[in-house]
Amino acid sequence: MMLKKYYGQLRFAGRLDVVVKHAGLYGLLLALIWLTAGCANGQQLQGQTGSLPVKPSGPSPVEKITPAERNVYDWVVIGAREEVARGVIYDASYRQVKYPGGDVPPESGACTDVVIRAFRFAGIDLQQLIHEDMRENFELYPQLWGLPGPDTNIDHRRVPNQMKFFARHGQALPLLVQGEDLLTWQWGDVVYWRFANGLEHCGIISDRKNLHGVPLAIHNAGVAREEDCLTRWEITGHFRYPPVSE
């Protein structure tokens, strides 16, 4: 019973009775990493990750750029990587946060919080930007939660709202990761996926690549990690913000 109570507090996705019966405490802790997942849309993902995080062998391309020479996309990558360094655990709970500049506890967050914190590291507050746009154009945003108006506590933490904002104010880019389209994927871009179970996910494109030249992604689907997962799920969005023309 104690295991079940602890398990519930960790907001596990999946069958509690099966995990407790067959895994034991050690398996339970492993499941926290491999089975817990989700986005801040009120639902949990179900075991969508599978590869190990990247173990860097040296400075990445962005890390070799001096701070004075880094652009906004460089800082976005560095900010996203901070989530990995802190070992942020997934938690999509609704919380009251201040506005602007509000955030959930730093040791926790959803996939969308990786994006929010990465851009804040680059001096861009998506909480404020998304709220201001929703306040003026609420009817243009997804009406999925039965709200009469914007909510500064959660709007920016929802995948559909982020996608709508970037589609309106960012640069929409190709979704394919092959041929010439592969060249359109640059570090600091934001990627959105749909899992096989229909739930949505997001992350930041890394400056590191696999042996085939496909960039890695920094995301949180249980625990924040940087890994080779860009083509693992259906890609539904690829954006650059701010647009390169600005």
Render pLDDT for 93-122 as a digit per residue (tens, 0 to 9).
999 999 999 999 999 999 999 999 999 999
Per the prediction, the chain carries an average pLDDT of 84
Same structural domain for residues 142 and 216? Answer: yes
Burial 144-165 (b: 16+ CB within 10 A, else e): eeeeeebbbbbbbbbbbbbbbb
Same structural domain for residues 193 and 80? Answer: yes
**Total tally of structural domains belonging to the chain:** 2
In a domain, 225, yes or no: yes
Same structural domain for residues 28 and 67? Answer: no
Residue segments in the chain with a per-residue pLDDT below the cut of 70: 1-56, 245-246
Same structural domain for residues 10 and 112? Answer: no
The model's pTM is 0.81
Same structural domain for residues 81 and 147? Answer: yes
Which residue range(s) make up the domain with 17? 2-34
Same structural domain for residues 18 and 126? Answer: no
In a domain, 180, yes or no: yes
